[in-house]
Amino acid sequence: MTKALVTGGAGFIGSNVVKLLTSEGFDVVVLDNFSSGYRKNLEPFANVYLVAADVRDQDAVARAMEDVEIVFHLAASVGNVRSIEQPVEDSDVNVIGTIRVLEAARRAGVRKFVCSSSAAIFGELQHLPIREDHPTEPDSPYGVSKLAEEKMCLSYSKLYGFETICLRYFNVYGVNQRYDSYGNVIPIFAHRLLRGQPLTIYGDGEQTRDFVNVVDVARANLLAAQSRGVSGAFNVASGVATTVNHLAAMMCSASHVESKIEYAEPRKGEVRDSRADISAARHSFGYEPTVPMTQGLIEYLAWARTEFLTT
């Protein structure tokens, strides 16, 4: 049985990775300090071994890494807005925390390291769709810290011989994504829709995002881990651009709730348009998005009704 460590495994994406790994027969260890993750996300997985600690805790990371073959590094301080408000914390977690995990992985002889990165590394886009070789000019401390995290992971791969894959997530959504005032648009819209509140769109709403369901993101992690002879950075997205105005309309339809739309000034640190080229991940380890957005939103809103209206 393959033993895997999932840092940030109680979080939104991490818990979906844990769910897939346990279904595939992995022996799973989770390292999480619950700063943004939830213990209830791990309740369905009785056989998961939990180390409740921060990724910056060297001893705890070493303990969690014992006999691990594959690392899925998802623990992070996430979000452009949060990073602007707390730039030191952002880099401390995303850069120093990642180095702690890499050092422990090196000492433990890990063979594969899958790191969660972000499309925030690109900054304002010069052309669409975005390939992995697009210039990286991040507009926020978060984008800077995730780019530094990538570079550190790939340098360890070259120096120490274990394969490292950095997955650049675009706009991930799905089950276990809770309301977040720091800018995740789908849970914010869901939270307001289900309470009969108006939806606020920053800017004119014609800005585009590449939304990808967390089920597809979890599968990308597994495929990356199972690949042989592959290292590098890869986009993980749907490859489809959706305007925020169209997203609002789809969510109203999926929830069967009509909502007033209010427009506000654009927010700092956010790009205008985004759409990924996912051909590199497709060719390198067989990644293919499978969840249509209409289906994903229906499933997410069904989960959100239970979660948001009872908490």
- In DSSP terms, 211 is beta-bridged to 171
Contact 102, 149 (CB under 8 A): no
Which helix H or strand E contains 168, and what residues bound it?
strand 163-169
- Catalytic, 142? Answer yes
Contact 300, 173 (CB under 8 A): yes
Contact 128, 273 (CB under 8 A): yes
Pairing label, strands 242-243, 208-209: antiparallel
Q: Is the peptide bond before 87 cis (omega within 30 degrees of 0)?
A: no
List phi, psi (to 5°) of 239: 80, 10
Q: Residue count of the chain, please give it.
A: 311
Q: Is the dihedral of CA 76, 78, 80, 81 positive or negative?
A: negative
* Cα–Cα distance for residue pair 33/64, rounded to 1 Å: 13
List phi, psi (to 5°) of 169: -75, 140
- In DSSP terms, 71 is beta-bridged to 5, 113
Among residues 142, 169, 173, 300, which one is catalytic? 142
Active-site positions read 142
